[in-house]
Chain A
Amino acid sequence: MSASTRRRAKVLPVGIAATAALLLSACGGGAGGAAPAEVDLGSGPAQAGTVKAGALEGVNMTFASYGGIYQDGQMAAAITPFAEESGARVLSDGPMEYAKIQAQVESNNVTWDVVDTDSNWAAGQCGKLLQKLDYSIIDKSNIPEGLASDCYVPAMQYATVMVYNTEKYSDAPTTWKDFFDTKKYPGKRAIQGNDAGAGIFEGALIADGVAPEDLYPLDIDRALAKLDTIKDSLVYWSTGAQAQQMLEAKEADMAVVWSGRAFGAVENGAPFEPAWDTGVVVMDVLAVPTNAKNPKASMALINYYLGKEQQEKLTEETSYSPVHLEAKPEVNENGRKFLITEPEIAEKVIVSDFAWWGENYADVLEKYTAWVS
C-alpha cells in the first residue's frame, strides 16, 4: 500500500502529500538507519555487565519492555549505562506486545532489538518469532540454574503470590487451601482474568490435594473445576496497575498478584502480607526477535544487563529479584519481604516448570479465557 501511496503523492496536490506522509509515518514506525556492516565487540570471553567502550558508536537500538517503574528501573540500572559505554543510541519503547513482535517479524521490519517478555510465551516462540541467543557474546555463568534457555535469559525473577488483608483476617490465611476456603475466609479474591500464567492453576491443584512435586504436567481441567468452587468470590484484574489499585483500595480481601505489585501496594500503605507458602516463582525474560537488525548489538546489550551491579541496581529500583547469583541488593524491610532470593522465602516457594508452560501456554490461555468469559 505504501508504495502506491507514495507514487500518487507526487502527482497530487499538497493536501494529499501530507496525508500520505501521515500514513507512511504511521505505518513505517521509525525504521532506523541501515545496520552497520560490522560490530567489533572485542576479543576474549564475554563477561556479564561489560561492553567494549565505544563498540557500538552510531548504532541505533530499541529496547521494549512493560513500562512503569519496571522499565524505568531497567533503563536506569542497565540500558542507559550500556548506551553511554557502548556509544549506541538506545530508545525505550513499549508496552511489549506479542502481536507487535509478530507484525514486525512477518513484515521483516523489526524495530525492537531486545524485548522484555513473558517466559512462557518466549519458550513457545524459540526459533519462530524469537531467535537463538549467541552465548559467545552473552555470559550466562552467573545466572541461576535452569533460568536461561536457547532463546532467552531471565530479565528478573518474581513470584505470583497470594496476599491477604491483615485488617480483615485475624487468623491469617496462609495456604492455598485457605484461599479456596470461602467458609472460613469469606471475602473477595482477585486474580488475573485476561491472561494465564503460573500461580493460580498450581494453587488450585495444591488446594485440591495434589502434592507440589506431582504438579506437572498441570491438569488444567481439574484446576478450573476447583476454581469453579470459588467463582462467586472472584474478581479479575487485567494489568499490574489494576491489581495494585485493588489492594490499595482494599477492594479485594485476598489476591493472587505479581510480587512487585504487592510490594508497590504495601509501600503505599496497603495493609497486606504475602503468604509465601503459596508463592510460585516466575520470571520475565530478555529475547531478540527473529530478523532483528543488529543481533550482535542485541546480544551485547543483554550481556551488559546481566552484570552483578546492574542486577543489584535493578532490584533496588523495582523490588524484583536479581538473576545474578552473587547480587546483594540493598533493599528496605518491605522490599526484603518480597525478594524471592531471600533464603527463608526461597525455601518456601515453588519454581514453575518453564518448559511445560512454554509448551502449553497457548492451550491454557484458550481454556482459561473460555472459563472466565
Chain B
Amino acid sequence: MSVSLKDPVRQAGQARRTGGAAAASGRRPLRLSPVLLLLPALALMAGVFAYPLAEAMWRSVAYPAPGPQNYQWFAADAGNWAVLGRTLWVALLSAAICLVLAYPYAYFMVISGPKLRAALMVIVLIPFWTSLMIRSFAWIILLQDNGLVNGLLAVLGLGPFELIRNTTGVLVGMVQVLLPFMVLPLYASMNNVDLRLMQASSSLGARPFVSFTRIFMPLAMPGVVSGSLLVFIQALGFYITPALLGSPAEMMISQYIYMQVNGQLQWGRGSVLGVILLVATLALLGLLALLMKKSKRAAGDEGGLL
C-alpha cells in the first residue's frame, strides 16, 4: 500500500478518496488493513471448507485402517465408475440444457425495454426464491404416472411416459433449479455487448445471422463459460433433487456418498467418492482452461493475420 511520493496523480487520487470518506463520515477513517477485512471470510472458509476437505482426504486413506483399500474398492467395482460417470453426464446435460434454454431468454432480456426486462427478471427469480422441497414435490405431482403432464399427453394419444424416478425426472428438476445461474451471467455478459457493433457490421454488409454469430456470440462468450461452469459444478453435488425425483437404481454420487456413510458407516469409502469427484471436477476444469487458452491463442493468431 505504499504510494510513491513521486506520483502526484495517484497521490491526488488517494487524498481525494480518503478526504471524501473522512468528510462524509465526519470522523477519521478506520485504518484497517485490507487483509484484516478478509479474515472473517478466511476463517469461515478454513473452518467450513478447508478443514472438512482435509479431514475427508485423510479419512479416505485412514478409515477404517490406514492404506489404499478404499481407493482399491472404488477402482475394482464397475458400479462405482457407473455412478461417477452418470453424475458427470447428468451435470453436463444440465449445463447444456440450461444453456439452450437460457441463451435466447437472456438475449430477449437484453433487447427488450426496461419494463418487460424487469418482468422477465422476476420470472427467472421467482422459482429461485421458492423452497427447493416445494419445487421438487410440485414436479412429482406434475410428472408422476397419473400426473398432469401424462394426463395432457394422454389427451394427445401419447404416453404414459415414465418421467420421474429416473434420470429424466432428475434433469427436469435440476434444470429448473439451475436455470437462474445460467440466465444471470448470460444476461450480465450480453448486456455489456455494445449492440451498435452489430449495426456497424450490418452497415459493412453482414447479414443479421452473420453479425450475430461473428460479433455478438463471441462477445457474449464469457457469460456462456461462467454460466456453464456455475451450473455444471453445482449440478455435480445435487442431493435433494435426485433423491426425490430420481431412483436408487440411477443414483448420483451425493446419494451414493450418503448411503456409504450413513447406511454402511463407510466413512472411508464415502470420502474416497468425494475426493474422486473433486479430482475429476478439477481435471475437467483444467482441461477447459487449457482449451480456452488454446482457442484464444488461435483467435489471436487469426487476428494477427488479418
Question: CB within 8 Å of B: which residues of A?
Answer: 1, 5, 8, 12-13, 15-16, 18-20, 22-23, 26, 97-99, 102, 188, 193-195, 234-236, 238, 242, 245, 249-251, 362, 365-366, 369-370, 372-373
Residues of B within 8 A of A370 (CB): 77, 79
Specify the chain A residue showing the minimal Cβ separation from B248: A193
B114 sits at the interface (CB 8 A)? no
Q: Do B43 and A8 touch (CB < 8 A)? A: yes
Q: How far is the CA of A253 from the CA of B116 in the complex (A)?
A: 48
| Interchain CB contact under 8 A, B40 and A16 | yes
Given contacts A235-B165, A238-B243, contact A19 B248 (CB under 8 A): no
Contact A366 B140 (CB under 8 A): no
**Of B5-13, B178-186, B261-269, which stretch is located at the interface?**
B261-269
Interface assignment of B305: CB less than 8 Å from any CB of chain A: no
Is A372 touching B40 in the complex (CB atoms < 8 A)?
Answer: no
Q: Number of B interface residues at 8 Å Cβ cutoff, please give it.
A: 34
Question: Which chain A residues lie closer than 8 Å to B244 at the CB level?
Answer: 242
Min CB–CB distance A241 → chain B (angstroms)? 10
Q: Quick check: A365 and B263 within 8 Å, CB to CB?
A: yes
Could you tell me if A16 and B39 are in contact, using CB atoms closer than 8 angstroms?
A: yes
A19 touches B44 (CB 8 A): yes
Contact between chains at B247 and A235 (CB < 8 Å): yes
Q: How far is the CB of B218 from chain A (nearest CB, A)?
A: 42
Q: Closest CB of chain A to B267's CB: distance in Å?
A: 8
Q: Given the complex of chains A and B, what is the CA–CA distance between A235 and B162 in angstroms?
A: 11
Q: In this complex, what residue of B is CB-closest to A192?
A: B248
Say whether A98 contacts B265, CB under 8 Å.
yes
Partner pick for B47 among A5, A12, A98, A366, CB 8 A cutoff: A5
- Asked if A366 and B264 make an inter-chain contact with CB atoms under 8 angstroms apart, the answer reads yes
User: B261 to chain A: which residues have CB within 8 Å?
Assistant: 99
The complex places the Cα of A1 from the Cα of B259 at a distance, in Å, of 27
With A5-B43, A16-B39, A251-B146 known as contacts, the answer to whether A373 contacts B262 (CB < 8 A) is: no
Distance of A53 Cα from B219 Cα, bound (Å): 77
Smallest Cβ-Cβ distance to A106: which chain B residue: B267
Q: A13-B40, A23-B47, A99-B265 are known contacts; what are 13 more A-B pairs with Cβ within 8 Å?
A: A1-B51, A12-B39, A99-B267, A193-B248, A235-B247, A242-B244, A245-B140, A249-B146, A362-B264, A365-B264, A373-B82, A373-B248, A373-B249
Complex alpha-carbon distance, A362 and B43, angstroms: 39
Q: Which residues of B contact A18 (CB under 8 A)?
A: 40
Which chain A residue has the least Cβ–Cβ distance from B37?
A15
Q: Nearest Cβ in chain A — how far from B261, in angstroms?
A: 5
Q: In the complex, A250 Cα to B248 Cα: how many Å?
A: 20
Closest to A2 in B: B47
A249 contacts B248, CB within 8 Å? no
**Ordered nearest first, which 10 A-B pairs have the shortest CB separation?**
A193-B248, A15-B40, A99-B262, A23-B47, A236-B248, A194-B248, A19-B43, A373-B251, A19-B44, A372-B248
What CA separation (Å) do A99 and B268 show in the bound complex? 12
List, in ascending order, chain A residues with CB within 8 A of B262's CB.
97-99
Judging by beta carbons under 8 Å apart, are B146 and A250 in contact? yes
Contacts of A1 in B (CB 8 A): 47, 51
Min C-beta distance of A267 to chain B, whole Å: 20
* Separation of A195 and B260 alpha carbons in the complex (Å): 11
Tell yes or no: B235 within 8 A of A by CB: no
